[in-house]
């Protein structure tokens, strides 16, 4: 059959496009046809692991394929993230991790093991875990205003626990101190349990930690909750005001968890994953499971997730430069 030159070109281009995208379309139609691996860059038992296993159980039921949680701790979460970033972009290797991986590390680390812009494709943010500022026996502040007054009267007299440079409590403390116009003295500990013991024992004044870690001590009256670091108020501590409510909105800090795929994963597969994650997060059982573990269930799609990450990278980069915080 005879085709005019322009029409022939269009036909050839359409044929080429069909040939190019046909494998992706076929792949998406068959997806998933084998087990999916959720890489968690932390050890078993923590919040990230709980989230991954909860999501994995529901995704397995919906997709009809095994969903396996693979714990790959180390390197401040970057060993596991690097594994996913360099995995085949076929939807069978996904990352479940938190803000320390997606926004803190890119902001504070000069040499990332993978290309931050191209290595991962963000799928959905699925949970939040605000920190709570608590005072221990060594500090008699009954509210945030009293704590700020103490710190202004005696700079560096108020000590707080961190888990090392660039950790969530460290960033939360630096942002709070800057916005409140005070100086706090950071004291490093190896983790929540050690920091909690130091706080309860009177070694330090206050701490920024997860509600899951210090909630029992708040309920027992051993620690006093002065503020929640993120908005809205936590369902676990509904009577505790947020920093934004206390006129320090720029000091707001919240941990969160999300799911990502390797960069370059075909759009049809991303659409399947996004749809299934949204359905899983609407499940009452998942919502209840998260809340039982002091996690705030939330769903942000890829666009909103990306916007949040970019905003936080800019914020934490500024905090790191101001306070000379680096992960290298």
Does residue 170 register a pLDDT over 70? yes
Q: Is the pLDDT of residue 319 over 80?
A: yes
What is the spatial distance between Cα 48 and Cα 46, in angstroms, rounded to a whole number?
Answer: 6
**Distance from C-alpha of 45 to C-alpha of 310, rounded to nearest angstrom:** 29
Using pLDDT thresholds of 50, 70 and 90, give the confidence band for residue 235.
confident
pLDDT value of position 11: 40
- Per-residue model confidence (pLDDT) at position 18: 53
pLDDT of residue 29: 64
For residues 30 and 90, the model is more confident at 90
Question: Between 3 and 316, whose confidence is greater?
Answer: 316
Quick check: 87 pLDDT over 90? Answer: yes
Please indicate whether residue 21 or residue 86 has the higher confidence score (pLDDT). Answer: 86
How many whole angstroms separate alpha carbon 242 and alpha carbon 222? Answer: 21
**How far is 38 from 108, CA to CA, in rounded Å?**
26
Average pLDDT, rounded, for the chain:
91
Q: Which two tokens stand for residue 205?
A: 């004044």
Is a pLDDT exceeding 60 seen at residue 25? no
Under 8 Å between Cβ of 90 and 264: no
- Average pLDDT for residues 268-278, to the nearest whole number? 98
pLDDT at 2 over 50: no
H helix or E strand, kind and range, residue 198? helix 192-200
**For the stretch 86-107, what's the b/e string if a residue is b when 16 or more beta carbons lie within 10 angstroms of its beta carbon?**
ebebbbbbbbbbbbbbbbbbbb
Q: With residue 315 as reference, give the H or E element that holds it.
A: helix 302-323
Put residue 178 in one of left, alpha, beta given phi > 0 → left and psi -120 to 50 → alpha: alpha
270 phi/psi in degrees, rounded to 5: -60, -40
Going by C-alpha positions, the residue among 84, 105, 103 that lies closest to residue 95 is 84
Query: Could you tell me how many helices (H) and strands (E) the chain has, helices first?
Result: 12, 10
Report the alpha-carbon distance of residue 91 to residue 309 in Å, rounded.
22
- pLDDT of 79: 95
Say yes or no to pLDDT of 4 above 70: no
């Amino acid at each position: 059959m005879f085709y005019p030159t322009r029409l022939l070109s269009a036909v050839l281009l359409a044929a080429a496009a069909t040939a190019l995208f046909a494998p992706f379309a076929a792949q998406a139609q068959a997806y998933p046809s084998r087990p999916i691996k959720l890489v968690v860059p932390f050890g078993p038992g923590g919040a990230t692991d709980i989230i991954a296993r909860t999501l994995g159980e529901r995704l397995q039921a919906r997709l009809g394929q095994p969903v396996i949680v693979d714990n790959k701790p180390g390197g401040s979460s970057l060993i596991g993230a690097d594994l996913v970033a360099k995995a085949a972009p076929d939807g069978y290797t996904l990352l479940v991790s938190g803000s320390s991986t997606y926004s803190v590390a890119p902001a504070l680390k000069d040499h990332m093991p993978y290309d931050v812009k191209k290595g991962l494709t963000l799928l959905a943010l699925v949970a939040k875990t605000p920190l709570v500022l608590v005072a221990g026996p060594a500090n008699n502040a009954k509210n945030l205003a009293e704590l700020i007054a103490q710190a202004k009267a005696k700079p560096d007299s108020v000590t707080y626990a961190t888990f090392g440079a660039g950790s969530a409590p460290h960033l939360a403390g630096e942002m709070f101190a800057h916005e409140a116009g005070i100086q706090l003295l950071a004291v490093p500990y190896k983790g929540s349990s050690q920091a909690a013991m130091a706080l309860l024992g009177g070694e330090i004044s206050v701490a920024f930690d997860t509600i899951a870690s210090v909630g029992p001590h708040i309920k027992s009256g051993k620690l006093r909750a002065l503020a929640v670091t993120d908005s809205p108020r936590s369902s676990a501590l509904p009577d505790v005001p947020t920093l934004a409510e206390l006129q320090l909105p720029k000091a707001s800090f919240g941990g969160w968890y999300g799911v990502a795929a390797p960069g370059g994963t075909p759009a049809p597969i991303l659409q399947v994953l996004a749809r299934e994650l949204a359905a899983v997060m609407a499940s009452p059982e998942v919502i209840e499971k998260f809340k039982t573990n002091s996690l705030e269930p939330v769903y942000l799609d890829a666009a909103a997730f990306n916007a949040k990450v970019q905003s936080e990278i800019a914020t934490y980069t500024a905090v790191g430069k101001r306070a000379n915080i680096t992960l290298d």
